[in-house]
Amino acid sequence: MNDKMTNREPDNIPTISWVDLAALTAGILYTLAFAPFNQSYLALLALCIVFTSWRKATPGRAILRGYLFGLGAFGLGVSWVFVSMHDFGGANLFISGLLTALFVAFWSMFPALTGYLAVKLTPDPATRILGLPSIWVLMDYFRGQMVLNGFPWLLCAYSQLETPLAGYVPIVGVYGTGFLLALSASILVTAAFDRQRRIFLSLLLITLWGTGYYLQSIAWTHVIGNPLRISLIQGSVSQDQKWLPENRQKTLQLYQSMTEAHWDSAIIVWPETAIPAYLSEVQDYFLLPLSRTAQQHGTDLVISVPTHGDTEDEKYNAVITLGKKSGSYRKDHLLPFGEYLPWQPISGFILNKLNMRLGIFTPGGANQPLLEAGGYPFITSICYEDAFGDKAIRDLADAAFLVNVTNDGWFGDSIEPHQHLQIARMRALETGRFLLRSTNTGATAIVGPDGGIITRIPLFKSGVLTGFISPMAGITPYAKIGDKPALLLMALLVSGTYFWGYQGRKKAV
């Protein structure tokens, strides 16, 4: 089939054209839509640019433009990886830069593959309007859930918490809302080149966003009890000082004194691994007396501390509750390279050569009983577990609120803590629950059921955030159905798009 019939760009265009550079620029604009920049509508513009760049591209050109988009998006959006490895991981400047570049290069392959599939599977403009957004989100799901235990960073829906599309989040979650954003971009691109359907497509877009605006007024969950006074502690202990043996007692005294000043709270939450020691090392002389005091004041403590299993080699990143009712949760969704090493033995060999020492933990298992505090069960997540919506909706019917403990100290004064808080806010909106988020260096926050930040502590400020939350009940539509129906629909749309285009190609020949 010749270029005239396929309406593709010729292969002999310059090595790097202005359209290629536009795709790279679109990647940068895409990241500016997320926290801390918060230019939400730039995500829509960025998708419009990259979708347009694929419109008449050959498969090879689509790969290049998708890859350039990824370099722009991840190059800025995950630049905090360098901070983690250089400032706190012990790697030198060259190694940190090299590994960060490889990290960015790896994840950039996914928008590159998206571009290739967009050209190969959506050859017909009439069906591309649905097929292209479906491919985009399915690739995001593959990246966010299945590769290296999942890397759901920079999913486009996270940028839309302040736009009308947020109204869809409690119904279809982060992937369904991402599809609606990508569909909006696809509609705009199609309308720009199709005069005959421009009015219809404009009305469709207005309806899509207008419905989202209306849906924001619906409360999917309801209050079931009196407000609870809660206190979230942010110790702001620097990562490079946290685990030094000579600082352990000072850190324990810091958290104890901050806790004792807030015994009037029903719940007090400490951040991830606030205790720089294993549970067995501090249980008798520190935690048991603290638990007895909490019981006397009618307060429940939610504390994060690493624990051992049946053997010394079996280690868990855990959260325990002390006070009226004790319990334990062990982190299940572990962080690649930070808490376990994929691609063994290669990854272990490289890290040993670089003299980078990382914790190796054991998954806690999916079916763990809910912890309780303030008289109510709650959903627990540790660190980046809050980036997975399917975890937050598991057992949600029995949970009155969410608790996330995090240590973003590994990333210093970078954009990562801001992005992570934005991700956590999505879980509150998806579930219709208050979220208590306690972090070591920031950003500690109370998030409402609408995903809005009620109050927070700035980064690198030691303090206690005190406020009130209401226990909630009720199930959002997303919590009932999860991601599978939306993903199945998108897979069907891609299949239908390809079949329709295949039939069209047979007729053209």
Q: How far is CA 463 from CA 15, 176, 281, 418, 425, in A?
A: 54, 37, 26, 18, 21
Helix (H) or strand (E) holding 130: helix 125-141
CA dihedral 108, 109, 112, 113 (to 10 degrees): -150
Rounded to 5°, angle at Cα 446 from 444 and 452:
115
- Per residue, what are the HEC states of 445-485? EEECCCCCEEEECCCCCCEEEEEEECCEECCCHHHHHCCHH
The one catalytic residue among 48, 242, 315, 331: 331
For residue 372, the tally of other CB atoms under 10 A from its CB is: 19
Cis peptide before 36 (omega within 30 of 0): yes
Which phi and psi (to 5°) does residue 434 adopt?
A: -70, 145
Distance CA 442, CA 458 (A): 6
Distance CA 339, CA 359 (A): 5
Ranges of beta strands (E only) in 248-375 are 267-269, 300-308, 315-322, 327-330, 371-373
The one catalytic residue among 156, 339, 372, 383: 383
Which phi and psi (to 5°) does residue 378 adopt?
A: -145, 160
Q: Is the distance from CB of 252 to CB of 281 less than 8 angstroms?
A: no
Strand partners, 377: 372
385: annotated active-site residue = no
The one catalytic residue among 48, 156, 242, 272: 272
Work out whether strand 267-269 and strand 300-308 pair parallel, antiparallel, or are unpaired: parallel
4: annotated active-site residue = no
User: Angle 109-121/59-77 helices, nearest 10 degrees?
Assistant: 150
272: annotated active-site residue = yes
Distance CA 250, CA 103 (A): 37
In three-state secondary structure terms, 272 is: coil
For residue 263, the tally of other CB atoms under 10 A from its CB is: 14
Indicate the burial class of 494 (C-beta count within 10 angstroms; 0-12, 13-18, 19 or more): buried
Could you tell me the sign of the dihedral formed by the alpha carbons of 329, 151, 277, 237, in that order? negative
Q: Which two tokens stand for residue 289?
A: 């007396």
Largest Cα span, the chain? 82
Residues annotated as catalytic (active site), given as ranges: 272, 331, 383
